[in-house]
Amino acid sequence: MKKIIAMALVVMMALAILASCGAPSEMKEAAGTWTGVHTKFVGDSEWVEEEEFSLVLTDDGKAVSKRGGEEYNATWSLEGENFKMTETFLGIKIEYTGTLKDGELDIFNGDPTDDLTCEYVYKK
């Protein structure tokens, strides 16, 4: 009987470990290359056509942001449609928040109500 209980515990622990491995399905779906569509300062009424910019998300929570010919390493997470990213630029961490919905990633590099915050819009 002790052997059966021990085996059952081992099987349950193995299943728990396997279930916790890998990225959540929402992160797997969001992973990939996102191409910048347009950007603007929140206080501006018109979108700016910036040089090419993109965001490469991997399902392990790492990212590379590409803007102005430069690449910046980042980490990201997604809970429902709430997107968060932390980018490192010259040793300074820049926090981004936004949403991923209807195939569009809309993020802000600061307070979305501050006129000097940049808004970036991407599509996959």
CATH classification at residue 101: 2.40.128.20
| Average pLDDT estimate for 88-100 | 92
| Average pLDDT estimate for 104-122 | 94
Q: How far apart are CA 28 and CA 59, in angstroms?
A: 5
Residue 1 lies in a domain: no
| Average pLDDT estimate for 25-46 | 92
| Average pLDDT estimate for 63-72 | 92
Measured in residues, the chain has a length of 124
Which pLDDT belongs to residue 114? Answer: 94
pTM here is 0.76
Q: In the chain, how many domains are there?
A: 1
| Average pLDDT estimate for 63-83 | 95
Beta bridge partners of 17: none
Question: Which of 5-19, 23-37, 71-85 bottoms out in mean pLDDT, i.e. has the lowest?
Answer: 5-19
Q: How far apart are CA 28 and CA 82, in angstroms?
A: 15
Residue 90 lies in domain: 24-123
Considering Cα of 100, then 101, then 107, then 111, what sign does the dihedral take?
A: negative
Residue 78 lies in a domain: yes
